[in-house]
């Protein structure tokens, strides 16, 4: 027996709206829709280039953001006109969920086609998921479905099953079925992490798939017209898209502008239509200009420092904690982001839910782990020296040799690194060496374990504490042991707690298990959560239909301009 279920994230967002007072939305939403311009073009910028278009391998934030415009999976995770995150039909026109919550059946649209006119079929999704579950492929998002889809983990980790054995099958050309190990309330949210590829082209182009616009097939609302990697990508409306008649924009330009000041000037001069500036002086200048609508929204992506636990210093819990506890989160936010962030004493931002309630409320705010430890260890420098002695190292902090890898070379990355250098000199007596490097190079260093401290962060794929905790699973997580260097009893216990939580249906019990896991991850200093931004996005007053929610993507198909000169 099946029941039809059209899933919405309204409940997950309700608690968030209550505690934040909602968003500062575009003015005039209740007014009649203005007349749209004949030429529909929208331009935005990013500080980072898109690395690749292969959704199985290229999944950094810049890659994901672009792929959301040109590739479409079974369901959409979008922001509606009320700034609420919703799950919407996409390639699948409809779906059903079994009564026990373990079988999902998706019905693919008859008019869903790739940009070369070939129909999108159930076989495309079966092929995509099987490729992701193939160990040799090295899919960067493979871990998302570990422990969720039947036989998936056993195939991914070569533990007795083959990719053909996973619980994903085609029923004819237009129906795809997923069998799960257990009910998963956020399964639909996960599907955005598995954008499709097509078997014939993937095998034809091999490693070159997604490396250029002539080596990829697309099925989203937009296609790529040109790509100058470090300058600009231009998209045009995909006339073959199933909902092309309701897509208003004809052209989108994605410009790479690394300097925040240059980006702000581009907004003021009309070269771009939207910007989320960081520098307070530019924010004030844009506000005073008067031509822009401001949309304020809290973020869901925590920033944190990642310590290489295989390092001769950071294999010590006490040394890691000394660096974490000495970090003055409030001062950092005041000095560098003009107060527009929430300090994190937990890995979880305030908008993360556990079930239909805010996680921090479910656990009685006992997740403020850093504050608890700061009371226990009021002198981080003494803790550092104690850790050095226990490791048989020179107890003089000034003699430590530590590298700090930045996540970018822009002005903010530079200021942040210099702030950390000075702060740790004052509080710990340590002098760090700053390694300025671009985003993709830093991730390469992390993948190789070639770092001491790295600027890290994570945009969760779904709204649940597990979305942030699971990235540090020692075997299956994005920051697994080969990247984090984290091994031993604590790492094993952490992994066990995540498994227990996955099979626990009562939300209070599940939240307690997740809290225990967080107490290990944050409480032993494997990472040092720092802050989560509160964003002010400035939108040109002629742009309409642009909505933001921290747990969903902006729907570019409903954006349009009116009165743009």
d(CA 13, CA 21): 12
Lowest mean pLDDT among 20-24, 265-269, 401-405: 20-24
**How does residue 33 score in pLDDT terms, banded at 50, 70 and 90?**
low
pLDDT over 90 (residue 280): no
Give the rounded distance of the alpha carbon of 212 from its chain centre: 24
pLDDT over 90 (residue 65): yes
Domains parsed from the chain with CATH numbers: 2-253+542-561 (3.40.190.10), 303-533 (3.10.105.10)
The residue among 4 and 200 whose pLDDT is bigger is: 200
Mean pLDDT of 531-545: 96
Mean pLDDT of 496-510: 90
The answer to whether residues 449 and 482 touch, using CB atoms and an 8 Å cutoff, is yes
The residue among 27 and 198 whose pLDDT is bigger is: 198
d(CA 231, CA 380): 44
Furthest CA-CA distance within the chain: 73
Of the candidates 222, 219, 195, the one whose C-alpha atom is nearest the C-alpha of residue 73 is 195
pLDDT over 90 (residue 57): yes
Q: What are the tens digits of pLDDT across the range 212-241?
A: 999 999 999 999 999 999 999 999 999 999
Q: What mean pLDDT, rounded, does the chain reach?
A: 92
The residue among 96 and 337 whose pLDDT is bigger is: 96
pLDDT over 60 (residue 10): no
Q: What are the tens digits of pLDDT across the range 355-413?
A: 878 899 999 999 999 999 999 999 999 999 999 999 999 999 999 999 999 998 988 89
- Sequence-distant (6+) residues with CB within 8 A of 195 are 55, 67, 71, 72, 73, 128
pLDDT over 80 (residue 423): yes
pLDDT over 60 (residue 315): yes
Length of the chain: 565
């Amino acid at each position: 027996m099946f029941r039809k279920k059209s899933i919405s994230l309204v409940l997950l967002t309700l608690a968030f709206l209550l505690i934040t007072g909602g968003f500062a939305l575009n003015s005039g939403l209740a007014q009649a829709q203005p007349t749209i311009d004949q030429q529909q073009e929208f331009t935005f910028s990013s500080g980072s280039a898109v690395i690749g278009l292969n959704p199985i391998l290229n999944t950094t934030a810049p890659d994901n953001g672009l792929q959301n415009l040109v590739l479409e999976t079974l369901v959409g995770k979008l922001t509606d006109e009320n700034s609420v995150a919703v799950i919407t039909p996409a390639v699948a026109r409809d779906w059903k969920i079994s009564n026990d919550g373990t079988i999902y059946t998706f019905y693919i649209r008859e008019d869903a086609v790739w940009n070369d006119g070939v129909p999108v079929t159930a076989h495309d999704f079966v092929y995509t998921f099987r490729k992701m579950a193939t160990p040799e492929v090295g899919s960067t998002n493979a871990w998302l479905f570990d422990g969720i889809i039947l036989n998936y983990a056993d195939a991914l980790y070569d533990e007795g099953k083959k990719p053909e054995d996973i619980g994903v099958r085609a029923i004819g050309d237009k129906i795809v079925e997923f069998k799960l190990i257990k009910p998963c309330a956020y399964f639909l949210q996960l599907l955005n992490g598995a954008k499709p590829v097509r078997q014939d082209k993937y095998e034809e182009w091999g490693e070159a798939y997604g490396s250029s616009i002539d080596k990829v097939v697309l099925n989203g609302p937009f296609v790529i017209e040109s790509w100058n990697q470090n300058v600009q990508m231009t998209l045009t409306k995909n006339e073959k898209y199933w909902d092309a008649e309701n897509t208003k924009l004809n052209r989108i330009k994605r410009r790479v502008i690394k300097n925040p000041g240059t980006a702000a000037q581009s907004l003021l001069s009309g070269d771009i239509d939207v910007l989320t500036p960081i520098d307070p002086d530019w924010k004030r200048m844009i506000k005073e200009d008067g031509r822009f609508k401001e949309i304020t929204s809290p973020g869901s992506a925590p920033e944190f420092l990642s310590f290489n636990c295989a390092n001769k210093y950071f294999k010590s819990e006490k040394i890691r904690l000394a660096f974490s506890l000495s970090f003055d989160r409030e001062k950092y936010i005041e000095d560098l982001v003009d107060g527009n962030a929430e300090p994190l004493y937990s890995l979880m931002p305030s908008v993360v839910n556990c079930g239909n309630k805010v996680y921090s409320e479910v656990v009685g705010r006992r997740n403020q782990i850093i504050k608890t430890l700061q009371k226990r260890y009021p002198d981080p420098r003494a803790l550092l020296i104690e850790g050095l002695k226990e490791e048989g190292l020179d107890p003089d902090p000034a003699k430590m040799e530590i590298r700090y890898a930045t996540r970018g070379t822009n002005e903010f990355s530079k200021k942040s690194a210099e702030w950390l250098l000075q702060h740790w000199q004052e509080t710990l007596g340590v002098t760090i060496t700053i390694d300025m490097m671009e985003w993709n190079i830093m991730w390469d260093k992390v993948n190789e374990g070639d770092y001491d401290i790295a600027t890290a962060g994570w945009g969760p794929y779904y709204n649940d504490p597990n979305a942030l905790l699971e990235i540090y699973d020692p075997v299956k997580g994005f920051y697994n042991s080969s990247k984090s260097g984290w091994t031993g009893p604590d790492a094993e216990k952490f992994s066990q707690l995540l498994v227990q939580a996955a099979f626990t249906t009562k939300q209070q019990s599940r939240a307690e298990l997740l809290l225990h896991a967080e107490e290990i991850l944050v409480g032993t200093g494997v990472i040092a959560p720092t802050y989560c931004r509160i964003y002010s996005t400035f939108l040109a007053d002629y742009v309409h239909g642009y909505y933001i929610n921290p747990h969903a993507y902006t729907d570019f198909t409903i954006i349009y301009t009116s009165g743009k000169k």
